[in-house]
Amino acid sequence: MRPLFAFALAATIVTAPALARDAKRVPDATPDGKAVSCIPLISIQSSHVRSDDVIDFEMKGGKVYRNTLPQSCPSLGFEQHFSYATSLSQLCSTDIINVFTTSPPMRGPSCGLGQFQPVKLTPR
């Protein structure tokens, strides 16, 4: 049963909430532990694209991991959508994301992920 589950997660499109489009800046965050290379897919509750180079992954239980991409990913902040493919049960810093454009719907630029830094977001 586990291989089927991993296959179901192999190609995932992640859509950030519409409110994220209105965000003009990356929310302030304070590191909350040591950065890790991978996070378990099953624990990701949602993701929030903050800019062309920052994605916050909200985990079940409320923990947030900030991923700052090593290089800016063109149009990620504008499109607010990305996809990834993995055969593992984790999303890792060695994985590649693809910007998903909505008009017209197609795969956009490919970009590498960085380390996953646990953070506490500063309330606005």
List CB contacts of 89: < 8 A, sequence separation 6 or more. Answer: 2, 5, 6, 9, 40, 41, 42
Q: What is the pLDDT of residue 105?
A: 87
Predicted local confidence at residue 67, as pLDDT: 98
Stretch 92-99: mean pLDDT, rounded?
Answer: 97
Tens-place pLDDT, residues 39-86: 999 999 999 999 999 999 999 999 999 999 999 999 999 999 999 998
So what's the pLDDT on residue 55? 98
Specify whether the CB–CB gap between 76 and 52 falls below 8 A: yes
Q: Does pLDDT of 3 surpass 90?
A: no
User: What pLDDT sits at residue 24?
Assistant: 60
CB atoms within 10 A of CB 71: 10
% of the chain with per-residue pLDDT over 90: 70
If one counts every other C-beta atom within 10 angstroms of the C-beta of residue 59, the result is 17
Question: Is residue 7 pLDDT above 60, yes or no?
Answer: no
Tokens encoding 40: 């378990």
pLDDT at 1: 39
